[in-house]
Amino acid sequence: MVRCLIWLLVLSILYSSTLRAQAMDNTLTFRNISGDKYFRINYENDFFAAFDRDYTQGILIEKVHPGLSRFPFMNILWHPKCSEIKYGLAIEHNAYTPNDIGQYDIQFGDRPYAGVLMFKSFLIADNFEKQSRITVSFNTGVIGPAAGGEQMQRTIHHWINYMQPEGWHNQIQNDLVLNYQVNVEKAVLQYTNHFLVSAYGSARLGTLSDKISAGFTASLGNFNSPYSTTQTGKKSFQWHAYFNLVGNAVGYDATLQGGVFNHSSVYTINTGEVNRFTLQDKFGLVMVFRSLYLEYYRTGMTEEYKTSIYHRTGGLQIGFGF
């Protein structure tokens, strides 16, 4: 029976086409890499789901190492007590486009073009006694032409011999990105090393995005629990399929509404048109062989503004432990 459930979940991951992604976060337990030294690359693109609109692609490159605890921005991060802490830095680049990238003119009622480039300082605090994880991050960067969204999309489309975008001159203009975020996870149901359910809560505040989120993640497979460091017979090969569901209460989104300080953008979504409640889901398959981490996933989100659609994308990750 367990094997049947596993295969059904794996097949649903491989053939699902109703999912989407936004704002990459690798600090959650279903993406756990053991140890305090690793490097990981994450690439998302809606081309995986045969789309090219809304959140169209994202790249995240991260490094975790104890020596990063001395980085200046770590001093402004909350350090939970009685926890084992990992420190990391990351660079994230995201691009957003409307439905028809071949149009030169503004597409009213559709998403504005926007590029975001961020530098991220973060820590992961595990409390194994309470079976909980708290992650704290601070993002600095820019939204607008300086983020290079147009150049990145044109380069990717050139590589895959696909249509070039024509409307980036209408994109949201340059503005400052400063964002602070706290995530909390806690194990609520666990069966040996084969099944795990975790509750999730998050609060994000800043110039790019303001929102509160809550949800859960269910993982099924053969893996070392991210909430324990004292397991016997740790596995050299691990795998798990996961389902993650998160509800968001949205206060502000600069990729839709424009920057907080610069109001010169030629087109944005009006405040009254922004949906204040969204639902995001994610399926993924993770495999870990010794120090090598591999993941494929599909994600989806409900309509973010009145005239938008349910959008889908996919992503790949590769990581190396040291």
Query: pLDDT tens-digit profile of 70-93?
Result: 999 999 999 999 889 999 999 999
Report the DSSP beta bridge partners of residue 281: 245, 300
- For the chain, the structural domain boundaries read 2-321
Looking at CATH, the fold of the domain delimited by 2-321 is given as: Lipocalin (2.40.128)
What pLDDT, in 10s, does the model give residues 154-210? Answer: 988 888 888 899 999 999 999 999 999 999 999 999 998 999 999 999 999 999 999
Q: How much of the chain, in percent, has pLDDT values that exceed 90?
A: 74
pTM of the model: 0.87
Q: What is the pLDDT at residue 20? A: 37
Assess whether pLDDT exceeds 80 at residue 47: no
What mean pLDDT is predicted for residues 246-273? 96
Query: Residue 301: which of 32, 51, 8, 91 has the closest Cα?
Result: 51
pLDDT digits (tens, 9 = 90+) for 270-309: 999 999 999 999 999 999 998 999 999 998 889 999 999 8
Non-local (6+) Cβ contacts of 96 within 8 A are 54, 55, 56, 111, 112, 113, 114, 115, 116, 149, 255
pLDDT at residue number 162: 82
C-alpha–C-alpha distance, residues 81 and 128, integer Å: 12
Q: Note the pLDDT of residue 23.
A: 58
Mean pLDDT of all residues belonging to the chain: 88
Q: How far apart are CA 114 and CA 168, in angstroms?
A: 8
- Taking 60 as the threshold, does the pLDDT of residue 146 lie above it? yes
- Flag the least confident range among 139-153, 155-169, 207-221, 235-249: 155-169
Structure confidence at residue 220 as a pLDDT band (50, 70, 90): very high
More confident residue, 218 or 10: 218
